[in-house]
Amino acid sequence: MLLPPKATGLAAPTGVARPWPSVLATWGPGERSTLHAHHCCHLVLALDGELQVKTADKGPFQPGGAVVTAPDVAHEIDASGARVLLVFIEPESDVGDALAQALGASTIEIVGREAADRLRSRIAAPDQADVAAALPGVLEALGIATPPASPRPRHPGVRRVLRHLRADAGGADTSLEALARVARLSPGRFMHAFTESVGVPLRPYLLWLKVERAGAAMAGGATLAEAATAAGFADAAHMTRTFRRMFGVSPSDLRRRSQLVQDR
């Protein structure tokens, strides 16, 4: 079992904003997003009804009971009128490695009615669901119940930097030179190794960490302005624009959902 049976509420003092944990689950009313991409793996499951999913090729919407996306894959989802369970999985975690192994070469997988029914069966009563207890079964149904036998290779220096960044509350020196020292590599070699190991360059990844910190702060009760300041955004407007680009919805939508945070 990757997750404990109880949810861990994410709350942090104002001014402190840490990235969300390896797996974050939230559920509530569905809505329509614009085309967007974010650096996390992502499951959207319709607890009732179905979803409509469009990929970056601008083709027609495709119906499904759920959708699973790999990180940094552009997609658009219309879940209007349905209740949905969203599961965000940090791609550099063991859980993310397991999902990548389960997805194989696929970057986005639209789950049909029967498979979605199997996922829904893991949550007996959506209105009063104990999502914390249900999530291990949901992950098992997706084929990611155990850590992968062969995790994705990452440069050891990059692993040190990832641990360093995720342990920090947002105040560390994130200049190329400082992080290269943590990695024990030259700046040029570090930039190459980071992109090769993580799948995106350093600067977009650092922006993603800001989004995580802001989302975690809001889940803990911070206002939009407080979350923006704690995460290192220039202001709430900058944070909102970034959220819309990465999630296709505004950060205030996060606040309207019931939040449950899972940690390994």
pLDDT range class, residue 205, cuts 50, 70, 90? very high
Can you tell me the distance from the alpha carbon of 111 to that of 141, in angstroms, rounded to the nearest whole number? 12
pLDDT in tens, 144-168: 656 666 667 899 999 999 999 988 7
Is 228:31 a contact under the CB 8 Å cutoff?
Answer: no
pLDDT at 197 over 90: yes
**Rg of the chain on CA atoms, in Å:** 18
Is 23:90 a contact under the CB 8 Å cutoff?
Answer: yes
Please give the domain boundaries of the chain with CATH numbers for all domains: 23-150+250-262 (2.60.120.10), 156-247 (1.10.10.60)
Which of residues 128 and 182 earns the better pLDDT score?
A: 182
pLDDT range class, residue 6, cuts 50, 70, 90? very low
Which tokens hold the place of 25?
């689950």
pLDDT at 7 over 70: no
Can you tell me the distance from the alpha carbon of 219 to that of 17, in angstroms, rounded to the nearest whole number? 10
Can you tell me the distance from the alpha carbon of 87 to that of 43, in angstroms, rounded to the nearest whole number? 5
Lowest-pLDDT range of 45-54, 106-115, 153-162, 251-260: 251-260
Q: Is the dihedral of CA 16, 203, 40, 89 positive or negative?
A: negative
Can you tell me the distance from the alpha carbon of 129 to that of 123, in angstroms, rounded to the nearest whole number? 6
pLDDT in tens, 213-247: 888 888 777 889 999 998 889 999 999 999 999 98
**Alpha helix segments (H runs only) across 44-130:** 94-103, 113-120
pLDDT at 238: 94
**Alpha helix segments (H runs only) across 68-175:** 94-103, 113-120, 131-141, 156-167
Can you tell me the distance from the alpha carbon of 188 to that of 264, in angstroms, rounded to the nearest whole number? 34
